[in-house]
Amino acid sequence: MQDRTQAVSSALADATRRDVVQRRWDRQRRRELAAGLSVSRQAVVKHVSTLGAAGLVAPQRSVREVRYSVTPAPFEDAVDWITTVGAKWDARLVSLRDQF
């Protein structure tokens, strides 16, 4: 799970990829995804590829076109990891506070 969380974090580190994910899209083609972004379609291809490698989007091929859908599981894993780490830090900070 650590490797997947790392891949998700790396993929979402880029503002354009976060914009792509934030769009409310499902089963859209890369051309459609690029329409509202300030980057070229070729750049969208690279960004979608990175999101796909992290498991955040899934391609579905239909004859000549490929459509993409968001995959929620990697997001859930990342949130679980962040929550776990946050809880550990909260406990440490409470412990420090109680010492003084």
Condensed to tens digits (0 to 9), the pLDDT of residues 46-95 reads: 999 999 999 999 888 888 888 888 888 998 888 888 899 999 898 888 88
Task: Write the Ramachandran bin of 58: left for phi over 0, alpha for psi from -120 to 50, otherwise beta.
Answer: beta
**pTM of the full predicted structure?**
0.73
Q: Which of 17, 14, 43 is nearest to 31 (CA)?
A: 43
Taking residues 34-49, what's their average pLDDT? 84
Q: What is the DSSP letter of 71?
A: -
Task: Print the domain residue range for 36.
Answer: 2-99
Percent of residues, the chain, with pLDDT higher than 70:
92
The C-alpha angle 43, 45, 46, rounded to 5 degrees, equals 65
Confidence (pLDDT) at 96: 83
Q: What is the mean pLDDT of the chain?
A: 84
Identify the bridge partners of residue 62 per DSSP, sorted by sequence position. Answer: 65
CATH classification at residue 68:
1.10.10.10
Residue 73 contacts by C-beta under 8 Å, 6 or more apart in sequence?
A: 55
